[in-house]
Homo-oligomer: A and B are copies of this chain.
Amino acid sequence: MDLRALTDRLPAGAVITDPDIVAGYRQDRALDPGAGTPVAVVRATGTADVRETLRWADDHRVPVVPRGAGSGLSGGATALDGGIVLSTERMRDIRIDPVTRTAVVQPGLLNAEVKRAAAEHGLWYPPDPSSFEICSIGGNAATNAGGLCCVKYGVTTDYILGMEVVLADGSVVRLGGPRLKDSAGLALTKMFVGSEGTLGVITELTLRLLPAQPAQCTVVASFATLTAATEAILAITGALRPAMLEFMDSVAINAVEDEMRMGLDRGAAALLVARSDAPGEHAAQEARVMVEACRAAGATEVFETADAEEAEAFTAARRFAIPAVERIGRLLLEDVGVPLPRLGDLVTGVAEIARRNDVTVSVIAHAGDGNTHPLIVHDPDDAGETERAHRAFGEIMDLALTLDGTITGEHGVGRLKKAWLPDQLGPDVMALTRRIKDALDPHGILNPGAVL
């Protein structure tokens, strides 16, 4: 492979072949054991570098795996032998326009950095994956990432008004723009959101921002049974639109408590963290409705606070659940979602799958929108347990599909879930997807093996 031709087109230092550095780009947080070793990592400094890399790769039929911050949980950025990993981590410009409430950002900024830049203007970028301090805004767009506030405020696609994207052949297109309404032509912006690097590489995003989030009231409730907790969830969402409604099961509670020592109820079967950000005293009113709903569903303990720091401690506990459970063992991380009335069936069904396969599965969830993360814990050095874990992984997705659900609510399909995608979409939708993929990437250089 003539890497020289690529190196010559890019700024000094953009193409990395040092094996020690390259090794750090082989996997994302999914730790895909099937990861290959790329011939080089390109750390693009701007759109021109992305364009030149794709032109070269398309000419030479070299697979390119686009990568944001590498925090993906589905193996969407698993490197391929003989391929290029194209990282956008160095593309970090941001411009905020407070008058139109928009931000124009490059993909390498972390979600938290976008939030902070917006906050300096009294504005708010809502989508908040639990990993918001380590995940990039470009990766958020590529996976249509969700988070905790999505139950009220929607997901990443709802905040993307436009983008610049480099196609497989290196052509650079600008889609949408800083307009709240735009019906001119196909909704191409929306099509690239969630396309996981299979259709193009996003080099700039125009984001919609909101006024700063109002003050909040937070409710924390413990339950002795999973059923009581899912009943409370339905009662809350039936009564109002919470700004957050999070769930942790017993395994997650104890794993978090082991690390954070904040006095969580270790004996509880489930913990809910709910929030209202209704204006003024309406937040307290909604909090009271949520407290009553939890009590009526049989909560063993209910706690309410308007103190931002105290509330943030519980939210941080919930966000810390994945790293905390990860300390018990290697995780296979699910992202299944179901319509809310089926949430109870999903949670109890997952417990049954765990029992049947003799593996530990901890369930945490963005409960208010039916999006759950069963975490399948296993020891990768124990072949039998690993096999049972993988069996449970598939069975949980199968279960979600029988409940009219999705195999992935916010992490994307990547490589880890692609075997189940046809079960969800069916052959006609898969064929339609393939037609679009082939039309946009005829040589199949963009993230081959992901999604499709």
Chain A residues at the B interface, C-beta cutoff of 8 Å: 98-100, 102, 143-146, 150-151, 154-155, 157-158, 167, 171-175, 177-188, 190-191, 193-195, 198-199, 210-211, 234, 238, 240-241, 278-280, 282, 335, 337-341, 366, 369-371, 404-413, 417, 421, 424-426, 428-429, 432-433, 435-440, 451
Contacts and interface: CB of A to CB of B under 8 A. Distances in A.
Nearest to A154: B158
Given A180-B370, A435-B440, A436-B186, A341 B100 contact: yes
A437 to B, nearest CB: 8
Contacts of A98: 238
30 contacts: A99-B234, A100-B341, A143-B183, A144-B183, A145-B183, A146-B183, A173-B426, A173-B428, A177-B339, A177-B404, A178-B404, A179-B337, A179-B370, A179-B406, A179-B409, A181-B370, A182-B406, A183-B194, A183-B411, A184-B406, A184-B417, A184-B425, A185-B413, A186-B191, A186-B194, A186-B437, A279-B279, A435-B440, A438-B439, A439-B439
Contacts of A413: 183-185
A278 B172 CA distance: 42
A432 B167 contact: yes
A175 to B, nearest CB: 7
B195 A186 contact: yes
Contacts of A238: 98-99
Given A171-B428, A180-B371, A182-B406, 19 more contacts: A98-B238, A99-B340, A158-B158, A167-B432, A172-B428, A180-B370, A181-B337, A181-B369, A182-B337, A182-B408, A183-B194, A183-B335, A184-B406, A184-B413, A186-B191, A186-B199, A187-B195, A210-B241, A280-B280
A180 B151 contact: yes
Contacts of A406: 177, 179, 181-184
A68 to B, nearest CB: 15
A137 to B, nearest CB: 16
Contacts of A174: 426, 429
Given A172-B428, A432-B173, A408 B186 contact: no
B183 A408 contact: yes
A371 B100 contact: no
Nearest to A431: B171
A247 B297 CA distance: 49
A213 to B, nearest CB: 12
Nearest to A280: B282
Interface centre among A173, A174, A182, A405 (most CB of B within 10 A): A182
Contacts of A438: 439
Contacts of A102: 339
A371 B188 contact: no
A432 B188 contact: yes
Given A280-B282, A406-B179, A185 B100 contact: no
A405 B179 contact: yes
A185 B436 CA distance: 12
A183 B100 CA distance: 28
Interface centre among A180, A188, A338, A408 (most CB of B within 10 A): A180
Given A157-B190, A191-B190, A280-B282, A429 B180 contact: no
Contacts of A185: 413, 421, 424-425, 429, 433, 451
